[in-house]
Chain A
Amino acid sequence: MVTEGRFDLPQGTLDLLIMRVVALGPIHGYAIAQRIQQMSREALQVQQGSLYPALHRLEYKKFLTAAWQPSETGREAKFYELTARGRAHLRSETENWKRLTDVVGLILKGTLEGIS
């Protein structure tokens, strides 16, 4: 997941991002990767090696369901959708994330005194 000019995703955040993207409506794996890249303004590039295991994991945990539907190009693609359980999970995880970033932000705000 690491590439030049971009940065590491903290552990577990990929699942959160995927669910956030899927929450917008049924979507297939390739589009999810594209969308994350877009939304992060090209800062995040999700590799297939991480994306698909994560999707399958979420599906196994019943946060996502999947169905085969024709894609925009007409080919069949596996479209993922958030389940009720997934929606609840996403909500609480998003809350957690916000609280975490707020707290971390509180501590890290201000000048880089003592570092540089």
Chain B
Amino acid sequence: MSWLRRLFARKRMEIDLDKELRFHFESQVADKVRSGISPNEARRLARLEFGGIDQIKEHCRESRGTLWLEAILQDIRFGLRQLRKSAGFTVAAVITLGVGIGAATAIFSVVDSLLLRPLPYPNAPHIVRIWMTFAPRGMMEIPLSEPEFLEFRQSQNLAHVAGFSVGTITLTGSGDPLQVTASWGTSDFFTVMGTAPFLGRVFTSDEQLQGQAQVALISHRLWQSRFGSSREIVGKSILLNGQSCTIIGVMPEKFGFPGNDVDVWEPLPIGPLSDKIGNHYLNLIANIKPQVTLQQARSEMMTILDRIMHRYPKYYGGAAGLGVSLIPLRQQMVGNLRPTVLVLMGGVLVMLLIACTNVAGLLLARGEDRKREIATRSALGATRSRILHQVLIENLLLFGAGGALGLLLALACIKALSAADYLNIAATGGVKLDLRILSFAAAVSMLTGLIFGLVPALKASRSNFNDALKTSGRDEMGSHYRTRVRSLLVISEIAFSLVLLTGAGLMIDSLRNLLGVNLGFNPDHVITMRLSLPEARYSIAQTAAFYEQLQDRVRGLPGVQAVAIVNQLPMSDVSANASFDVEGRPSNTDINVADTLIISPEYFRAMGISLIRGRFLDGEDATHPPASIMVNETLARKVWPGTDPIGKRVRLGPSYPWLSVVGVVADIKNHGSNVATKPEIYFLLTRQMFQIWIDLRSMSLVVRTASEPSQIVGAIRGHLKQLDPNLPIYRISTLKDLVASSISQTRFPALTLSLFACAALLLATIGVYGVLAYTVAQSRHEIGVRMALGAQQGQILGLFIAQGLRWAALGGCAGIVAALVLVRFMRSLLFEISAYDPGNLLAVIAVLSAVVLLACSIPALRAARVDPAVAMRNE
């Protein structure tokens, strides 16, 4: 451990070394004095002979072995001092690195969890979803009916096939009633998923067949929140929709299929005698056998479909264009997010490039600045490896700080991204910080740092001391290799920023277009909530009576302006439709399809939907069996173009009564701002309502208030408890929030890309400013000469502004080309704007030019204010 001792005895050694050399020097002087030279002269001569004492010392130090630990500590101290001394550079570099590394790590972690990491189901790679398709009507994901499911189950290429459906169910007993999402699955459901329960067992095929066995599995979440994580829960009974049901198992925490919000799984009773061929409600999942391709499985499915069509000729009637599609589970789950995620990934890559470029530029400029320092140090005896070590350590410090900042930013970003529920990240197992990605991003920027940090240092340490001291601090403008490299860096930064700005601009325009869409209703001051009356306790007449009472009570609350119910609220995923016949025309159920909205009379007033023709449905209409309906403009235009629809009659089928149109309402965006309005028919929910396959018991309550609408929820809850204490309310939300969340698919990438673009713009500004300021500083002498020779301030100013504009022009051109190539990848995210929108491109160019000009003007003004006398005296 001699090196360790020496490390602590360093001071001692330095003193000894000094003493030893001093002794030599004094002896030399003494000898000269003895030979008759005057003491002063002797000292002068001895000093000349002796040479550079620091150089000797350094060589002595080095010959005493490699003092690596000491050297490293010294380098770290020195490095920290250097970084502190140039705080501007340090802050800029650390922020640049942090933003680049952090953003890249966060976005790539999301990409990884959505697109790359295995789903949290053991069988996931072999799981496919099965849909029927009907291309002629553009229907690509049609659920299947029970007989079809039983046929598909015969497949040789599929190991297991399971059907499931999703809905909500009321959980009562032990605490407040709770409306939970439930899934009903056939016995193979858990076999296909390959997930074993956390507690208990899954249901058997017997339990599935009987259907009446009344068993259920519950989610880990429900087990914790409702049953206090009690292990004795298995075998206990709970009340589901008022019926007693035995809990046979608890699913593991990560299991969230078919949706992350599912809390209860029950067996789906399907018998071999199912004959409801027309009832397409079953979702199918299956395991593809190993060594079977998707293509093979699909062609077998097509054969089976042919068989089905022959067996049920009356139902299918040889319909051409029917098909089957098999979609891998992951694609099904994240398929529509793919473009968003890929665009973000592209954005973040460009961002990392900008960050690297910026750091490179900063380091280059700094390297130039330190040429003199390095030359001095090598003149004082520092070897090249020592200097390189020092620069390396300094870079490591810089990148360590940048990396740490990046890590923090990445963690914060991941937290924010996980909270964006539309990304549906939880369903794929949540985002984890990916250390591989963090190290990759750090390595990329580190490599940049090494290249652009070490190369100048290497050059400086090799160069001749005199030359270095002479040229440093002055750098002629123009044809200089290093100037060219710096210009290239700035130009690429501008180009990269332009690409990001273009993308962000397009997203923001899309968002603005979406926000500007005329919804057809007024979302302000409206609160909505959903109720589901259990079938066991409520007949249709009772349902209608219940909702009438509830509306009457809520109407009496202070501040309430209008109360109504509706089965499908705008921007919700509830949707019901039906085909209809038009009086006096042949039945054409392929074309005459409309969304069916069940409402109460005040619905249009509560929503703020305006009347186009005729009259609104009123309380009078509600007192007798349905005879009147309203339609929206789209339906009126489609079915009765050019004629007045008032008084025309339609019916839902041969066994249904004729209904006459009494009014036409304005189109509203029922399925989202970016979805075209479908034909719609509005019915009143009445006590004498005819039997119809639409769920009439689940309704959304819509309440328009004078002030802040969410304050009224408590009062509504109170009235509800009086009417039916076992009825939960769920999906409580203001209409405004519903509208906002419906455009999150655009809002999210718009905000993220804008953030990237702002950061990129900031980095580019720093880059342009830094390089030009540096050029100005280097050219002070030349500016001085020019001014002394008669150049005006304006000319000098113009010189540097022109330099900045040249960069902007070159970078802009390169950026436009790159942007035009890249933007087509984001086409599917855009709304009512072309990816090549010239307005957007012009705006981006204008913004970028303005920023470059701003970044240039400060150093250029500084250049123009150079006092020639001072500048030239400086040298």
Contacts and interface: CB of A to CB of B under 8 A. Distances in A.
Interface of A: 28-30, 33, 47-49, 52-57, 59-60, 68, 71, 73, 75-78
B23 A78 contact: yes
Contacts of B59: 49, 52-53
20 contacts: A28-B23, A29-B20, A29-B24, A33-B24, A47-B51, A49-B56, A52-B24, A52-B56, A52-B59, A53-B56, A53-B60, A53-B63, A55-B60, A56-B63, A57-B64, A68-B16, A71-B23, A75-B23, A75-B26, A78-B16
Interface in B1-57: 16, 19-21, 23-24, 26-28, 30, 50-52, 55-56
B586 interface: no
A78 B19 contact: yes
A27 B50 CA distance: 20
Nearest to B2: A60
B253 interface: no
Given A29-B20, A76-B19, A78-B16, A52 B60 contact: yes
Nearest to A78: B20
Contacts of B21: 48, 52
Given A30-B28, A52-B59, A53-B59, A60 B20 contact: no
Given A28-B20, A49-B59, A53-B60, 18 more contacts: A29-B23, A30-B23, A33-B24, A47-B51, A48-B50, A49-B56, A53-B62, A53-B63, A55-B60, A56-B60, A56-B63, A56-B64, A60-B65, A68-B16, A76-B19, A77-B20, A77-B23, A78-B19
Most A CB within 10 A of own CB, among B19, B20, B26, B30? B20
A35 to B, nearest CB: 13
A59 to B, nearest CB: 8
Contacts of B27: 30, 73
Interface SS, B side? helix
Nearest to B60: A56
A45 to B, nearest CB: 9
A39 to B, nearest CB: 17
A59 B65 CA distance: 10
A49 B23 contact: no
Contacts of B61: 56
A64 to B, nearest CB: 12
Contact of A49 (B16, B28, B51, B65): B51
Contacts of A68: 16
Contacts of B24: 29-30, 33, 48, 52
B66 to A, nearest CB: 10
A77 B24 CA distance: 9
Nearest to B50: A48
A30 B55 CA distance: 18
Contacts of B28: 30
B523 to A, nearest CB: 82
B45 to A, nearest CB: 14
A86 to B, nearest CB: 15
B19 A48 contact: no
A73 B30 CA distance: 10
Contacts of B64: 56-57, 59-60
Contacts of B51: 47-49
A60 B23 contact: no
Most A CB within 10 A of own CB, among B26, B27, B51? B27
A52 B20 contact: yes
Nearest to B53: A48
Contacts of A30: 23-24, 27-28
B20 A48 contact: no
A38 to B, nearest CB: 13
A34 to B, nearest CB: 8
Contacts of A75: 23, 26
For the complex of A and B, list the 9 residue pairs with the smallest distance between their C-beta atoms, beginning with the closest: A57-B63, A53-B59, A30-B27, A56-B60, A53-B63, A30-B24, A56-B63, A78-B20, A60-B64
A58 to B, nearest CB: 9
A71 B20 CA distance: 12
Most B CB within 10 A of own CB, among A47, A54, A68, A78? A78
B684 to A, nearest CB: 101
A54 B16 contact: no
Most A CB within 10 A of own CB, among B16, B21, B51, B56? B56
Contacts of A49: 51-52, 55-56, 59
A54 B63 contact: yes
B391 to A, nearest CB: 24
Contacts of A54: 63
Given A53-B62, A54-B63, A78-B23, A48 B30 contact: no
A71 B27 CA distance: 10
B16 to A, nearest CB: 7
Interface string B657-687: 0000000000000000000000000000000
Nearest to B63: A57
Contacts of A52: 20-21, 24, 56, 59-60
B56 to A, nearest CB: 5
A53 to B, nearest CB: 4
B34 to A, nearest CB: 11
Contacts of A76: 19, 23
Nearest to B58: A53
A53 B59 CA distance: 6
A109 B51 CA distance: 39
A30 to B, nearest CB: 4
Contacts of B50: 48
A40 B643 CA distance: 127
A47 B23 CA distance: 15
A60 B24 CA distance: 20
B6 to A, nearest CB: 10
Interface in B74-99: none
A49 B21 CA distance: 10
Most A CB within 10 A of own CB, among B21, B23, B55, B65? B23
A57 B56 CA distance: 13
Nearest to A33: B24
Contacts of B63: 53-54, 56-57, 60
A56 B20 CA distance: 11
Nearest to A57: B63
A14 to B, nearest CB: 12
Nearest to A60: B64
Contacts of A56: 60-61, 63-64
A48 B26 CA distance: 13
A56 B56 CA distance: 11
Contacts of B55: 49
Contacts of B56: 48-49, 52-53
Most B CB within 10 A of own CB, among A30, A59, A68, A71? A30
A60 B19 CA distance: 18
A29 to B, nearest CB: 6
A52 B26 CA distance: 15
Contacts of A60: 63-65
